[in-house]
Structure 1
């Protein structure tokens, strides 16, 4: 993976950290329960890599002795740091700049290493070698992602898919080859873990989580998708009308109420 691609993947998340943090689902506590159960004890050190604004990092605060969120995007990381400062700078949690293939952590130091909605942005071979280096014997790597769109109303979900796919097409058309980010297929995560030969046990785990949403948050969830933000930054103003229509459709479905939205998660794990 060359430096230009790494740069483009980081740049993709520039400029919408607050929108992302306010509207994306918080990482569910099922993640903590499953991984702690596999580890067999409270983890001493958890590393959350590609942590974004820290939505997937904070869930470990009361469930591990030390936690670090590693994020290369300064925009995203700054949101997490601001929340950490507002919370009184808890000693057991910190955020740091870093890339997945070069974490800057000691050998055999991490009990649980997670990638929430982020592993598909990382070159798998160099990343998995680095993860295996920092994990202790018996340590666990877990890449987990939710399915898009979340489950609520089929017409609204179809509109969500159309908005995002249109944005992805426009982003691809408006950017040069040198500007484009690259992501790996999430369906290949488990195979990459298996083929690395670095893990003695691996499997996929599926679970679900519900979270309350309003129409505004559901609409903003779609707007927080990286492809849509990329297309808007490249000048795809025609998306504004589509986004307005989607927002109006969400308002009709929610009818002024808060509704429970279902997120389906797929977690691929490897144990050292």
Structure 2
């Protein structure tokens, strides 16, 4: 499909080629997201729109809590993985995954949506057009929520430091290895709330912080690092420069977990707007 003006090819293609790995290790959106947004809405949503839905980790949690759920995802690999999961899920006929962009929701009717979510995705979107479209499709009193978890998840400072160093080097290498027009551009997540406020779409905005504990073993903690787009960009370019750092990180993670499963803490920041 044609990329609408304001969107970047690099932001879409960044997630090509590792949908299975991404889906295996990334966290599913916590149930607290549903609880918070339905509480603000004060009713069961008729239509939930999940923009930049990826492999459906933030879409399928709505299965039992909305009359109709649509995941919008421009990346074909990610969307195909989401659709395979939907087909294997009983009672999911009211869920669909469609190609599309957040600033071009032409098939979604005016004032037809109760809740819009952007999980780990709003920083890849063209913000002005996205806000305009959100204002168009949201019902009066509808909720827009852009939420992200902090990286890395909390477990131990030494592992976290090594995780951050690995990702920092990966991001620098990704820039060096990628042509300018193909580079991904990540917007500052700390500006999300300001974008919502400045849009004029919402009568009320705020930031909500919450946490979610999940179980994790060494394979998953390493997999979380490997699922980061910058690192995957380097590997897809055929570079072996990160291999020593990846192996060192893997060994240190395995040493720390020592074959055990431990709890890790995902910390979330939700920027919320009520139309």
Band of TM-score, shorter chain: over 0.9
Structure 1 residue 8 and structure 2 residue 24: aligned?
no
Structure 1 residue 29 and structure 2 residue 37: aligned?
no
148, 164, 177: which one pairs with 1:174? 177
SS in 2 for 1:138: strand
SS in 2 for 1:162: helix
How does the TM-score come out when normalised to structure 2?
0.96
Does the C-alpha gap of structure 1 residues 202 and 4 become closer, same or farther in structure 2, counting only changes over 3 Å? closer
- Aligned position for 1:121: 124
Structure 1 residue 138 and structure 2 residue 141: aligned?
yes
Structure 1 residue 17 and structure 2 residue 19: aligned?
yes
Deviation string, structure 1 residues 123-163 (Cα, Å, up to 9, x no partner): 10001101111100000000000000000010000010011
Structure 1 residue runs of 4 or more that deviate by more than 6 Å after TM superposition? none
| Cα distance in 2 between the residues matched to 1:19 and 1:210 | 21
- Aligned position for 1:99: 101
| Cα distance in 2 between the residues matched to 1:3 and 1:231 | 27
200, 203, 225: which one pairs with 1:200? 203
| Cα distance in 2 between the residues matched to 1:90 and 1:171 | 38
Deviation string, structure 1 residues 16-65 (Cα, Å, up to 9, x no partner): 00000000011001100100110011111101000000000011000111
SS in 2 for 1:178: helix
| Cα distance in 2 between the residues matched to 1:5 and 1:196 | 18
Structure 1 residue 211 and structure 2 residue 211: aligned?
no
Does the C-alpha gap of structure 1 residues 27 and 53 become closer, same or farther in structure 2, counting only changes over 3 Å? same
- Aligned position for 2:251: 248
- 1:102 deviates by 1.0
Aligned length in residues: 272
SS in 1 for 2:48: strand
Deviation string, structure 1 residues 88-144 (Cα, Å, up to 9, x no partner): 472111111110011220000100000000000001000110111110000000000
Structure 1 residue 238 and structure 2 residue 249: aligned?
no
How does the TM-score come out when normalised to structure 1?
0.97
Is the Cα–Cα contact under 8 Å of residues 7 and 126 in structure 2 kept in the other structure?
no
Unaligned runs of 5+ in 1: none
- Aligned position for 1:45: 47
- Aligned position for 1:112: 115
SS in 1 for 2:181: coil
| Cα distance in 1 between the residues matched to 2:16 and 2:242 | 19
Unaligned runs of 5+ in 2: none
Compare 235-244 and 70-79 and name the one that shifted more. Answer: 235-244
Is the Cα–Cα contact under 8 Å of residues 5 and 180 in structure 1 kept in the other structure?
no
Does the C-alpha gap of structure 1 residues 260 and 229 become closer, same or farther in structure 2, counting only changes over 3 Å? same
Is the Cα–Cα contact under 8 Å of residues 9 and 182 in structure 2 kept in the other structure?
no
Deviation string, structure 1 residues 161-211 (Cα, Å, up to 9, x no partner): 011000000001111212211121000000000011111000000000011
